[in-house]
Amino acid sequence: MVGIGSFGGYVPRYRLNRMIIFGSMGWLNPVIITNARGEKAVANFDEDSITMAVAAGMDCLRGVDRQGIDAVYFATTTAPYRERQNANIVAGALGARDEIRSADFTGSLKSGTSALLSALEFVDCNGGKAVVCAADCRLGKMASTQEMVFGDAGAAVMVSDSEVIAEYKGSFSVSHDFVDHLRGANTKYDRMWEERWIRDVGYQQFIPQAVQGLCAKYGMSPADFDRIIYPCYYGGARKNINKALQVEQEKVQDDMLATVGDSGSAHPLLMLAAALETAKPGEKILLVSYGSGCDALWFEVTENITKMQDGRGVSRWLARRADLDNYQKYLVWRGMAPAETGIRGETDKETRWSLVWREHKAILGLWGSKCRKCGTQQYPPQRICINPDCQALDEMDPVYLADKGGTVFTYTGDMLAASVNPPAIYGNVNFNGGGRTLMDFTDCTVEDLSVGMPVEFSFRIKFYDPKRDITNYFWKAVPAVGEVK
Amino acid sequence: MAEGIRDKVVILGMGCTRFGERWDAGSDDLLIEALTEALQDAGIEKKDIQAAWLGIHIDEINIGKGATYASGALHTPFIPFTRVDNFCASGTEAFRGATYAVASGACEIALAIGVEKLKDTGYGGLPDSPAFGQEAVMIGPNATAPGMFAQLATAYAAKHKIPMDKLKEAITHVSWKSHQNGAKNPRAHLRRAVTKEQIMGAPMVAYPLGLFDCCGVSDGSAAAVVCTPEVFKKLKPNEPMVKVKALQISVSSGEEAMFTRWDGAGIITTQTASRKAYQEAGIKDPRKEISMMEVHDCFSITELVTMEDLGISPPGKAPEDILNGFFDLDGQIPCQPDGGLKCFGHPIGASGIRMIYEIYNQLLGRWPEDRAVKNPKFGLTHNLGGVPTQNVCSVAIFGID
């Protein structure tokens, strides 16, 4: 049986109330008030589609042996690299083996479900496990509808050939060169055609077309499904689609527009993750994506679902929130407005790729080493054991530390270090199981921290080199979810 | 057991520039100024120097690598001139080079000179550099020196269960005391006494360190001419001799950064180097025997933990000693009688030699009454480089015969 083995979600900690955007930019485009309901999730300054995909992947892979992963797919329309496989960065961070298949899925907002379909077909052909991580961090210009609507988030699904929590029953796809939203290869901001056309011809036609196509293919009716998941940020269109499909409102999954916003490629999978948090055995789920066409997928929830309803998904991330009470901060974090970070912000940091390759396990996956002689865990990986009473040479086994967590040993908040989210917070962290390292902290304030408090590790942008357009990633410590109030 | 260098090397003469924002002076001017004073004090000529060591840390945006800039600026006559860098302990490392050369018998007269022209870097604080290598650029934190040392405070407060505001009160006294001393010193960079309220109320640099918890970033140079006791007696018959009683260096093993035994509330290398130095100098009870200290107060919290690491204050008791005035100029062991890094300033490569300059002049009783340490016998310098998790510490002890 092929289907979903696990799921995960990620919503960044910061939320921007849409009235703050309207309050700052309504003078330019008053009509954005029509979308000024609720809040949108905003990636921290050190987050992007890759880091959010990893965060969702880590959520999804809790308790999963990383050695058993056979494929890692990454879906996004906001990948930081055009050449350099983004999925390999995600796979490295998730601690997957080198002997896997990897691919980037991009170009449309249905790339998340396209990746999921490929993963399902991969596992159907080859067995094993395939992980799909999707995330998007799309930008609209200041005072645009897109700026109001788009939110940042990530979602992940692990496809498996055993112990599935939702069996894959079938799919139906439509693909169109229907250009409602568009970004050229060198464009930073989303552009869209007239909204009435997008709503009436796009969402309202293609989503029912995909659902009806699937139903016709398998002899089903939309009413047979217990949960229907589709993205569409037009409230009126959602009503019309539900009416066209003749499905009851309560069967339709909340689109999280008021809490997250439209998270692009990730959004259908994010909604799926939210649905699986409360799904019951036997439920039939219909998952539909939208963007340059639609993918419709049919799943049936199994008895195994209860084992995975352990806190993974979206709810705990939604609960872990902080107000981004400042529109200017949002602009600076997203690179939409230049900010002075002093001479330290001008430091030229070159990436030495041969070094990065040599150390890629330690950098991407926070792999350390563990001494076979004395059992001491250490980071970064050492050849000579760091235990002064051992010092064995070349007796090390690799150990994946990214999911181990740790405790705060020392910390500070530094106003001198260049940062667009000052103070720069960092300190020494003791890994659970042994070993210590000095690292950046994120998603917290100095006041949140105390010596001894538990932390988790989060894959983040380490630094961006604007001269060479290189984004470097590494792990940061974040207070364990539930610690930050 | 090696016999060490106790009493084998004597300071023949020293020089030290005014530290500060020397906008009108280049590294060459500073080097010339320090050397000229040192030669004058030593009563020798440049040609009498047989080998020289240059201490400097920030090389590329300063005077480059090697020592050819210095030899070229000073026009030394084709003698060996070697640049040494060991972070902020570079000055003492240069002094060690000269001292070891004399102690070994390879030279009779050697020069240690340190310089740093920080005010050409454009930075407030020290300039950014990949000081811990390229791997650290990829995995290390976005850190600065104050943030690295500030962590001593969070670990110290946690270990000794002392509330942060109480610890802040103690480190405030550290800076207050140094400002009192620096105000009296014409060569110091920061020459204004400040109130404890000013220190406490200053903007935060790195929690819990405020602006006045951080030392000055200065230009400056300092030089020492060292020789054998025999040469000294020949050149300065019947004059008191300031002898090197001990000089020990300890460098981190990586344990602090990666192993979980270190408590984070002190510096292991200071503990190690000081114990070896006391042994070399024959000091049994440093709290009773040391007369004065110049320690590496890059940050007020560093000075606080150093009092314990040197074995002067018992563990957890440094705040008490500090607040009791034990280290004030009129206390039992005056610490930073010249104002320290805090107020005299911190041109990195020169700092270790500047500390020795103060101890040397105090031992010789050359300072006016208002900043003289009473009847000093042993003076200690402590020069620390790097960061608490990865550092270099030197401890030197000087005595007068």
Domains B10-121+219-235 and B142-215+243-400 share a fold: yes
Q: Assign A236 to helix, strand or coil.
A: helix
**Residue range A77-86: mean pLDDT, rounded:** 97
CB atoms within 10 A of CB B46: 15
Give the C-alpha separation, B363 to B399, whole Å: 7
Q: The tokens 């395939």 sit on which residue?
A: A130
Cβ contact B143:B128 at 8 Å: no
CA distance B120 to chain A (A): 13
Answer whether A378 sits within 8 Å of B147, measured CB to CB.
Answer: no
Paired tokens of A210: 């995909």
Closest residue in A to B153 (Cα–Cα): A410
pLDDT of residue B128: 87
Give the C-alpha separation, A374 to A186, whole Å: 53
Give the C-alpha separation, A105 to A98, whole Å: 19
DSSP state at residue B339 = -
pLDDT of residue A440: 98
Q: Which candidate, A181, A160, A176, A191, places its Cα nearest to that of A6?
A: A160
Report whether pLDDT(B246) > 90: yes
Q: What band does A482 get if pLDDT is binned at 50, 70 and 90?
A: low
Give the C-alpha separation, A443 to B163, whole Å: 25
Per CB-CB distance under 8 Å, the chain B contacts of A413 are: 147, 204, 206-207
Paired tokens of A454: 């538990």
Give the C-alpha separation, B105 to B88, whole Å: 28
**Residue range B325-342: mean pLDDT, rounded:** 98
Would you say how long chain A is, in residues?
485
For chain B, the three-class secondary structure string (H helix, E strand, C coil) is CCCCCCCCCEEEEEEECCCECCCCCCHHHHHHHHHHHHHHHHCCCHHHCCEEEEECCCCCCCCCCCCHHHHHHHCCCCCCEEEECECECHHHHHHHHHHHHHHHCCCCEEEEEEEEEHHHCCCCCCCCCCCCCHHHHHHCCCCCHHHHHHHHHHHHHHHCCCCHHHHHHHHHHHHHHHHHHHCCCCCCCCCCCCCHHHHHHCCEEECCEEHHHECCCCEEEEEEEEECHHHHHHHCCCCCCEEEEEEEEEECCCHHHHCCCCCCCCCHHHHHHHHHHHHHHCCCCHHHHCCEEECCCCEHHHHHHHHHHCCCCCCCCHHHHHHCCCCCCCCCCCECCCCHHHHHCCCHHHHHHHHHHHHHHHHCCCCCHHHCCCCCCEEEEEEEEEECCEEEEEEEEEEEC
Report whether pLDDT(B9) > 70: yes
Of B123, B134, B259, the CB nearest to A436: B259
Size of interface A-B (CB pairs under 8 A): 142
**Residue type present at position A391:** Q
| Residues 246-285 (B) with a CB less than 8 A from some CB of A | 253-255, 257-261, 264
Of B143, B153, B264, the CB nearest to A414: B143
pLDDT of residue B216: 85
Active site residue B393: no
β strands within A27-75, DSSP E:
39-42, 69-75
φ/ψ of residue B46, rounded to 5 = -55, -35
Q: Which candidate, B56, B173, B68, places its Cα nearest to that of B121?
A: B56
Helical spans, DSSP H, in B293-394: 300-309, 318-323, 340-344, 348-363
**Averaged pLDDT score across all residues of chain A:** 97
Q: For the domain B142-215+243-400, what is the CATH superfamily, name and number?
A: Thiolase/Chalcone synthase (3.40.47.10)
For the stretch A266-308, pLDDT in tens is: 999 999 999 999 999 999 999 999 999 999 999 999 999 999 9
φ/ψ of residue B218, rounded to 5 = -135, 165
| Residues 351-380 (A) with a CB less than 8 A from some CB of B | 351-352, 355-356, 359, 362-363, 376, 378-380
What kind of fold does domain B10-121+219-235 have according to CATH? Peroxisomal Thiolase; Chain A, domain 1 (3.40.47)
Report whether pLDDT(A483) > 50: no
Active site residue B298: no
pLDDT of residue A218: 98
Of A344, A418, A435, the CB nearest to B260: A435
Give the C-alpha separation, B98 to B302, whole Å: 28
- Distances A430 to A389, A407, A412, A452 between C-alpha atoms, Å: 19, 5, 15, 9
The answer, yes or no, to whether the previous bond of B208 is cis (omega within 30 of 0) is yes
Give the C-alpha separation, B91 to B249, whole Å: 12
Percent of chain A with pLDDT over 70: 99
Per CB-CB distance under 8 Å, the chain B contacts of A363 are: 138-139
Report whether pLDDT(A388) > 50: yes
**pTM of the predicted model, to two decimals?**
0.96
φ/ψ of residue A243, rounded to 5 = -70, -45
Q: What band does B1 get if pLDDT is binned at 50, 70 and 90?
A: low
Of A376, A426, A452, the CB nearest to B143: A426
Q: Taking the CA atoms of chain A, what radius of gyration do you get in angstroms?
A: 22
Report whether pLDDT(A198) > 80: yes
Paired tokens of B9: 């090397």
Per domain, the residue ranges of chain B are 10-121+219-235, 142-215+243-400
Task: Report yes or no: B143 at the A interface, CB cutoff 8 Å.
Answer: yes
- Distances B279 to A385, A440, B276 between C-alpha atoms, Å: 30, 40, 5
Q: No. of H helices and E strands in chain B?
A: 15, 11
For the stretch B185-241, pLDDT in tens is: 999 999 999 999 999 999 999 999 999 999 989 999 999 999 999 999 999 999 999
**Residue range B257-269: mean pLDDT, rounded:** 97
For the stretch B111-139, pLDDT in tens is: 999 999 999 999 988 988 888 999 999 99
Answer whether A416 sits within 8 Å of B141, measured CB to CB.
Answer: no
φ/ψ of residue A164, rounded to 5 = -75, 145
Task: Report yes or no: A401 at the B interface, CB cutoff 8 Å.
Answer: no
Strands B81-84 and B109-117: unpaired
CB atoms within 10 A of CB B50: 17
Q: Which candidate, B86, B344, B380, places its Cα nearest to that of B221?
A: B344
Report whether pLDDT(A484) > 70: no
pLDDT of residue B190: 96
Answer whether B146 sits within 8 Å of A380, measured CB to CB.
Answer: no
* Interface with chain A: mutation pick from B135, B137, B142, B255, highest number of A CBs within 10 Å: B142
Q: Assign B243 to helix, strand or coil.
A: strand
Task: Report yes or no: A204 at the B interface, CB cutoff 8 Å.
Answer: no
List, as one string, the DSSP characters of A133-184.
EEEE-----TT-HHHHHB--EEEEEEEESSS-SEEEEEEEEEE----SEE--
Per CB-CB distance under 8 Å, the chain B contacts of A359 are: 135, 138-139
Paired tokens of B229: 């006791």
pLDDT of residue A481: 77
Cα B312 → chain centroid: 17
Give the C-alpha separation, A408 to B163, whole Å: 18
For the stretch A324-356, pLDDT in tens is: 999 999 999 999 999 999 999 999 999 999 999
pLDDT of residue B61: 74
